[in-house]
């Protein structure tokens, strides 16, 4: 039913709901525990890039991807 991509689409920083990402991680964990079909769906996904967040910019932060392309960090905006 394409619920996993829908949940992952909710993974963003939200000042009104600061625990949103943790709830999404918990939901994904519960969907994948003991379910090889859901695990295969996630394993077949490709990273499409980093989405910039308006909330991060308001806080003076941005997302930075490492050279290896495996790690993304929240870092201060360059002035």
Measure the CA angle with vertex 15, ends 12 and 28; round to 5°. 35
pLDDT for residue 47 is more than 90: no
Please tell me the distance from the alpha carbon of residue 46 to that of residue 25, in angstroms, as a whole number. 18
Query: Residue 50 — pLDDT band, cuts 50, 70, 90?
Result: low
Q: Is the pTM of this model over 0.75?
A: no
pLDDT digits (tens, 9 = 90+) for 12-34: 767 777 788 888 889 999 999 99
DSSP 8-state class, residue 70: S
pLDDT for residue 37 is more than 90: yes
Q: Where are the domains of the chain?
A: 1-45, 49-79
**pLDDT for residue 35:** 93
Helical residues (DSSP H) of 10-51, grouped into ranges: 20-32, 36-43
């Amino acid at each position: 039913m394409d619920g996993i991509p829908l949940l992952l689409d909710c993974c963003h920083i939200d000042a009104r709901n600061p625990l949103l990402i943790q709830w999404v991680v918990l939901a994904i964990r519960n969907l994948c525990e003991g379910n090889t079909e859901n695990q295969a769906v996630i394993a077949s996904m490709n990273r499409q890039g980093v989405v910039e967040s308006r909330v991060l910019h308001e806080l003076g932060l941005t997302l930075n991807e490492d050279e290896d392309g495996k790690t993304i960090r929240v870092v201060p905006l360059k002035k």
